[in-house]
Structures are given as structure tokens and as C-alpha cells.
Structure 1
Amino acid sequence: MSTDDGRLDDAITDFSRRLVDVDGVVKTVYAAGSGPAVVLMPEMPGISPDVLRLARWIRDAGFTVQVPSLFGTDGAWPTVEGGTEVVRRACVSAEFRAFAGGGTSPVTAWLRGLARQAHAECGGPGVGAIGLCFTGNFALTMALEPAVVAPVLNHPSLPLDDPAGIEISDGDARAVRDRVARDGLKVLAYRFEGDRWCTARRFAAYQALLGAAFDGRVLPDSSANTSPPPFFRDVVESPHSVVTAHLVDEAGHPTLKARDEILAFLTDRLSPSGRSGTPYA
């Protein structure tokens, strides 16, 4: 038990835990399932039970989900004190570029390597990449790896000090735009209307960069879970995590519909033919 409202941490016993080496950098990755690979990156402040719930949904939809440990305590509910400390450490880490002018976070090179390995292991037409919050934009820069064919950006929050900015270098932005033109890459994204960390201006910046390839979907604030974990309640303070902390697991609910749209998008892009025709609109 780790929170003031009695939530229990997740022991992650139904995933395999392995160390993945990409160019000499080793990180822990939790994997489960079979089928084409989907890399699910954690949201701040770590691989919470809500992130793992999403991972299990991806696994049960017919994919090999791989969840890399990038920060925080794996399986722990995000508390105010612990989560704030994780954010502080990440903001000064050499692996991340949390503020405007920093360009692309270096950790995305490692994530692209993970995607390459996952594609080689799991096969299929490519790999899905799902970013959440702090890692939201990483799914886009992972698309510089040709194996990544289904990027999903959930409430991308970087740079923290520029609500209209995108966490990406100019060169990488040009390369992503070239890939959109060359390969027909599509990018799915979600945010809540009143999210103070992922604003309408940020989605407008993505639209300007990617054009019609960017499918940005906005949910009303009224659809957010009103009882999220303490970190989201007291630190994030606004509707934010569409398919994790602020999801409402009820049939027909807008946030659950967003989850289903993401799973349909992955199925469509990662089917053996490359496009299954499965509607995800």
C-alpha cells in the first residue's frame, strides 16, 4: 500500500523482466504477449499500475507490449512527494530535454534501438510506439526509426516551459516530415481540452509540422476521472492522462473509447498486410 487512499502497488508478475542493451546502454524492459511489438513508454512519474493496465490491454489485443523503465519506481502508484522528486531528477538528467531550446531528448536514440530489436524479434510490418505525458513526443521522434509505423502521442508535455512548443530538434522535425511524405506515416494524438500541460497551441504546432498526417483528438474535461492518484490530483492538477490516470473504465465512456481507438489504430497499422482496413475513427 503506497498512497493515502489505499491503492496497492503492482508487482508486475505477469510480465517478463529483461535487460536490453542498445549501443552499450542497458535498461530494464517489461514484456508480455505475442504478435507485433508495441513499445509503451511510461508517463511521469513512472510505470504506474495505470500504465500497466494500458499495457495489459495492448497485450490482450494481440500485441507484444514492451514497457521500458525510464524513471521512477516500477509498479508504484504515483505519490505527491515521490513523484515530484522523480520529475526534478528527470528535468536535470542528460537523457531528457524538458525545456524549450533543448531539442530532441537523447533517450529517444535508445528507444529507437529498442524498436529495432523488437521488430526483429516479433516480426510484422513494423512496431507501434505510444508515448505518455513526459514521453508523449518520444513516439514521434521514434518514428525516425523505419520500423516504427504506428506512433501514438498521448498528452505530450514537453517542453514544460513552452505551451506552444514541440520537444524536437529542427533536423529531426525535417526528417519526420520527410518520412510522412515518403511513407504515408500517420500520427494519432490525444489531449483533454483544458490540459495545462498539453495545450491547444501545442497540438496546433504538431498540425503545422505534420499537416493531414496528424490526427489530434480532444476530449472534454468533464470526461476525466475525478479521483486520480495523488500525484495527478495535487501536482498535475488538470485533466491530463486520457488513457491512464484520468481514464474511466466504464463501457461507452469517452476515455475508454479513446483506448479502443488506439487499439484499432495499432491493429490497422500493424496488421500483416500493413493496413487491415480496421476503422479507428
Structure 2
Amino acid sequence: MNDAIRDFARREVDVDGVVKTVYVAGSGTAVVLMPEMPGISPDVLRFARWVRDAGFTVYVPSLFGVDDAYPTAEDGAEVVRRACVSAEFRAFAGGGTSPVTAWLRGLARQAHADCGGPGVGVIGMCFTGNFALTMALEPAVVAPVVNHPSLPLDDPAGLEISDEDARAVRERVVRDGLKVLAYRFDDDRWCTGQRFAAYRALLGDAFDGRVLPGSSANTNPPPFFREMVGSPHSVVTAHFVDEDGHPTRKARDEILAFLTDRLNGTHD
């Protein structure tokens, strides 16, 4: 059964003349949660509710796919295909920074203006994973979380960011003392150890990359993940296991604690 988004307010957000649908819920400082492929699934919404219930205003922008659905494997693959040829995304090596991140930085600015506090948290997952890093070019972003970033799809050691933006992000990390929290499964074919090594080479000790055993992943994810992704991948959504002491639940709790530390005044 598809999730219903009745407990989120649907907003049409305009950034520099480009309008996108954003689902908003909660109160407190802002967190922008970007969906993973193939869209805002019930699992993404479940995670959004955990962020909301931890005391934040969560913003979930609709970037691709059908909102509130578990698509078939074939339909999910078509969403990926369309995104790969879209002008908004740079899915392959050599493409540089995805243009949609400029819109997402504008959303972060608006969310910070609406919610106040020391800044905004941003969470990217899968196709949007590295967007959380690029969004750190926006000064309002103070708590980036990079979950299992899959871009570029054709370079397991690559980062989906231009050289100029990479230098600017590194400079901001050093200047402002940002930390970047990241997660992957150890046998993820889309987010490899090579990719995490590239993040560490760029960010140094500011990159906190945490690796979970693939054997702990949910073995019965939705069809797209089971048939198309084909390996443990989505730590806090499709491959999450909601059991006490489970590594994925620990990861979820660590993410929420990171956001609380950075956004609610406990961080020095």
C-alpha cells in the first residue's frame, strides 16, 4: 500500500523563477531531505517523519518519480533513465555539479529564513547523496549528511561536483569547521569504498564516513531495489531494519543526533 502524505503540507516553492513541489512537516530548525531514486517513496517519508519527530521542520522536495509510491522495477528504471538525460542532473563522470543543486541551495536559504536557528541540515541519498555536499556552498547549510551517494554512475571513485565547487566546499569546511557525515554498506555496488576514499581525499578529517556490513541490510526491499539496485544500498530507507540494536537503526539515530548537535545549539 502506498504511503499517504496527508500529514505534510504541500507547497509550491519558487527559486529564481523555477517552481517545485516541496512537502513540509514539523516545527523547529529546518532540514532538507532529498529523495533517493526512484522518488519520494513511503520509506523516504518514514525517514522524513523520524526527522520531524526529532524536533525539526523537514522539507522534502519532489525532484523525480511519482510521489508517495513504490514503483515497479521497470517504472523505477524509467525514472532513472529520464533523470540521466535531464538537464538538471549530471549522472556521469565529467559532468560536474548538477544544476538542480542551485535550486536546492535556494530552498535551504528559504527554509532557514522561515525556521531560523543556526542553519539548515541537508540529507542526500543515493542519486541525491552528493547534493548534500554541494549544498554546503550555501552558508545557511551547517549539517550535511551524505547517504550512499551513487553519482557519477560510471565512475566508482568519482564525485559528482565540479573542480571549482569542490575547492569552494573544501575551503568552507576548513573555514567554518563543518563536518560531513556519510553512510554506506560495505558491499554496495553503487557507493563503493573508492568513492568514500575520494571524499576523504577532498575533505580530510571533516569527512566522517561510516560503513555498515551489507549482511545487515533488509533482504526484502521494494521491487526497484531488489531487482534493479541489486545490492545493499539504502541505509535508512529501503534496506533499513527497524529492530533494537540493528546497525541501520543505529545509523538513523546517529544522523538524528548529528542534526540535533549541529542545529539545536549543543555544538560548540
Amino acid at match of 1:46: G
Cα RMSD after superposing both structures: 0.7
Name which of 243, 248, 261 aligns with 2:254: 261
Which of the residues 116, 121, 131 maps onto 1:123? 116
Q: Secondary structure at the match of 1:129?
A: strand
| Counterpart residue number, 1:279 | none
**Aligned with 1:17: secondary structure?**
strand
Matched, 1:27 2:44: no
Instruction: Spell out, residue by residue over 1:164-222, the C-alpha distance to the aligned partner (whole angstroms, 9 max, x if none).
Output: 00000000000000001100010000000000000000000000000000000000011
Classify the secondary structure of the residue corresponding to 2:43: helix
CA-to-aligned-CA distance 1:32-61 (integer Å, 9 cap, x gap): 000000000000000000000000000000
State which of 62, 66, 72 in structure 2 corresponds to 1:73: 66
Residue equivalent to 2:143: 150
Q: CA deviation at 1:79?
A: 1.7
| 2:118 pairs with 1:135 | no
Contiguous gaps of at least 5 residues in structure 1 = 1-7, 277-281
CA distance in 2, matches of 1:72, 1:57: 22
* Amino acid paired to 1:19: E
- Aligned residue for 1:5? none
**Aligned equivalent of 2:169:** 176
Which one of the candidate residues 113, 131, 139 is aligned to 2:106?
113
SS state at 1:244 partner: coil
Aligned residue identity for 2:94? G
Identity %: 84
The 2-side partners of 1:79 and 1:155 are apart by: 22
| Superimposed CA distance per residue, residues 232-280 of structure 1 (whole angstroms, 9 cap, x where no aligned partner) | 000000000000000001111100000000000000000135x17xxxx
Task: Identify the residue that residue 238 of structure 1 maps to in structure 2.
Answer: 231
TM-score, length-normalised on structure 2?
Answer: 0.99
- What's the secondary structure of 1:11's corresponding residue? coil
Which runs of 5 or more structure 2 residues have no equivalent in the other structure? none
Number of equivalences:
268
Using the alignment, how far apart are the partners of 1:78 and 1:56 within structure 2?
A: 21
Q: Tell me if 1:189 matches 2:179.
A: no
Whole-angstrom CA distance in 1 between matches of 2:265 and 2:124: 23
State the secondary structure of the residue aligned to 1:35: coil
- Would you say 1:209 and 2:184 are equivalent positions? no
Q: State the TM-score, normalizing by the size of structure 1.
A: 0.95
Tell me, in whole angstroms, the C-alpha distance in 1 between the residues paired with 2:146 and 2:174. Answer: 19
For the residue of structure 1 that corresponds to 2:106, the secondary structure is helix
Which 4+ residue blocks in structure 1 deviate beyond 2 angstroms? none
The aligned counterpart of 1:49 is: 42
Match of 1:90 in 2: 83
How many Å separate the matches in 2 of 1:220 and 1:49? 24
Q: CA deviation at 1:10?
A: 1.3
Measure, in 1, the Cα distance between the counterparts of 2:161 and 2:46: 29
What per-residue deviation string (whole Å, max 9, x for no partner) do you get for residues 72-113 of structure 1?
000001320110000000000000000000000000000000
SS in 2 for 1:272: coil
Residue 125 (structure 2) pairs with residue 164 (structure 1): no
Letter of the structure 2 residue corresponding to residue 134 of structure 1: F
| Paired letter, 2:27 | S
The secondary structure found in structure 1 opposite 2:200 is: helix
Could you say what secondary structure the match of 2:144 adopts? strand
